[in-house]
Amino acid sequence: MKILLTTTSFQDTPGKHQELLYSKGFEIDTLRGPILENELLPIIDQYDAVICGDDEYTEAVIKKGVGGKLKHLSKYGVGLDRIDLTAAKKYNVSVTNCPSVNQVSVSEHVLALLLTFEKNIHLQYNSVQQGSWKRWVGNEIQGKTIGIIGLGAVGKELAKKSSALGMKVLGFDITKDENFLTKYPEVSFVDSLDHIYKNADVISLHVPHTPQTENLISEDVIFNKLEKSPIIINTARGKLIDVESLIKGLKIHKIKGYLTDVLAHEPILDDEVLKGVENVIITPHVGSRTFQSVERQGLMAVNNLLNQVKIED
């Protein structure tokens, strides 16, 4: 079998996942993703399978791949929004992903961003490096209300950690996990996003990008529904945010800060409008990029592929 490996986290982190993949005798090519449609089209038919990150698997790419050897897409990570799942089903290409393996790393990243912003660590670090001893006044997060939109694996882990740090936790999801809520009664489940928009000091996003969630944080939400000038944290997908409205909201203090690990276009473009905006912190999609998480996800992605190959045999 000939395999294309495009996820950079997998490639950049030696560990058991690499040992497993390279022990199987596959012919393996590597590219550094995310790979766009026009880059995949000339090559995709050469491969039996791909271990991919956030590459662009449109119907055209999948159809071209199936015209050659392509049978399997093993997603390293959770989000499948860059894969045309309807086309994959149509052309009988198996698609797997790695749910419930990165929640510790991502939830820790959310809190790292929040504490960095509220304690001015990013500003203080830069000022001290320049020889300054200017001291900003920060804020505690204990006693603040965090609204978590999306109570999947990451959202639940963040809810537990936030509560342990003394925050009041509001959670919203389209499904209500009664078992989780019974086990963690400190998490208050709300049945309306407006309740979060009205009451949260911090809003953290943990939903996939779909047509329904695109621009979830919209102009209407920012200017008509947010009541406490919240900090918005996004470790999910960049397109959940109406960025132009967000910037306007930041300038007039409808939003206190925007802390994001994701952008609508990745890697960052030279003309990224969020770059340099005051009270915005951007990290380069590294929320799940810890050694422990990379190894867990990598092993799952490889095993998912091996299981599909076994099924095929």
- Would you give the distance in Å from CA 94 to the centre of its chain? 23
Lookup result for tokens 């939003």: 255
Q: Which of 72, 209, 285, 289 is catalytic?
A: 285
| Candidates 209, 237, 289, 296; catalytic one | 237
Bond from prior residue into 267 cis (ω within 30 degrees of 0)? yes
What is the side-by-side order of every strand in the sheet holding 145-149?
A: 187-189, 168-172, 145-149, 202-205, 231-234, 257-260, 280-282
Residue 32 annotated to the active site: no
Structure tokens at 107: 């939830």
Q: How many CB atoms lie within 10 A of CB 185?
A: 8
What angle is formed at CA 116 by the lines to CA 264 and CA 194, rounded to 5 degrees? Answer: 60
Residues 6+ apart with CB under 8 A from 136: 120, 123, 124
244 is catalytic: no
Number of helices and strands (H, E) in the chain?
13, 12
d(CA 243, CA 147): 20
- Residue 94 contacts residue 308 (beta carbons within 8 Å): yes
Return the SS3 of 179.
helix
Q: Rounded CA gap, 113 and 21, in Å?
A: 33
From the list 257, 235, 261, 262, the residue with the least C-alpha distance to 246 is: 257
Which residues are catalytically annotated?
A: 237, 266, 285
